[in-house]
Amino acid sequence: IKKAHKLKRDLYDVYYALGLFYYWKSVKAKILTHLGMMKDEREKGIQYLKIAIEKGKLASLEGKFALIEIYYYEDRYEEALKECESLKENFFHDPTWNYLIAKILGKLSKWEESKTYFVKLLALLDEFPHKSFSYLAECHYGIAKCAYEMKNYDTAREELTKALELSNHWDKKREIEGPLLDFDKVLKRMKILKKQLELK
């Protein structure tokens, strides 16, 4: 990829791969960057992705989805929401887009909006012949979390019960992890919410 970049500087789709490389290399080697043993090139990666989005022919859309995930990971939720909303017209019925915007809105404490998208996502997933129990469980957990924050505790309990039941069917070896959060972490959050609801 670096060789292709050197040979043809206006091959802008290459910036997508380079952007991912520079960003995630820095994230995964966080200890080394803190110690000064490796350069922190996260921002360089983000800038390269922006070039791919603006000028790329094949990787522009993939670059935008990657940037949304990075902004989420960086706790830059307002920027993530802005990028996500720019895709709304073309991806309103896309499960991944609905998942991303639901998660981002939750991080911004926009609970009613977040819940709406999780509900819509469940309807979209219901149309698929192959079921991912972890994905369905996380959606129900998302609704439960929103309901809890809005003090709708009965709804929160009902949805969390569904999430926990679905999680019992999760096969880690067969199901792909979500783009934002490993399901092991989702399970831990579900258990925390269960304890919180026991106090209500």
pLDDT range class, residue 131, cuts 50, 70, 90? confident
Name the band, by pLDDT with cuts 50, 70 and 90, for residue 59.
Answer: very high
37 vs 189: CA distance, rounded Å: 34
Averaged over 126-154, what is the pLDDT? Answer: 95
Of 99, 197, 81, 77, residue with least CA distance to 149: 197
Residue-level pLDDT at 40:
87
Q: Which tens digits make up the pLDDT trace of 8-50?
A: 888 999 999 999 999 999 888 876 666 666 788 999 999 999 9
Give the pTM. 0.90
Asked if 146 and 111 count as a contact pair (C-beta separation under 8 A), the reply is: yes
Q: Which of 35-39, 49-53, 130-134 has the lowest mean pLDDT?
A: 35-39
Please say if the pLDDT value at position 71 is more than 80. yes
Task: Give the pair of three-digit tokens for residue 35.
Answer: 């110690």
- Per-residue confidence (pLDDT) for residue 38, from 0 to 100: 75
Q: Is 55 exposed, middle or buried (0-12, 13-18, 19+ CB in 10 A)?
A: middle
User: Looking at per-residue confidence, does 195 or 28 come out higher?
Assistant: 195
Q: Specify the residue for token string 């993530």.
A: 80
Q: Can you tell me the mean pLDDT for 161-167?
A: 97
The more confidently predicted of residues 31 and 160 is 160
Specify the pLDDT at position 31.
Answer: 66
pLDDT at residue 175 greater than cutoff 90: no
- What ranges make up the beta strands (E) of the chain? none
pLDDT at 17: 95
Q: What pLDDT was estimated at residue 8?
A: 84
Residue 58: is its pLDDT beyond 90? yes
- Stretch 94-113: mean pLDDT: 97
Average pLDDT, the chain: 93
HSE-up of residue 45 (Cα within 13 Å, Cβ side): 20
- Give the model's pLDDT for residue 176: 80
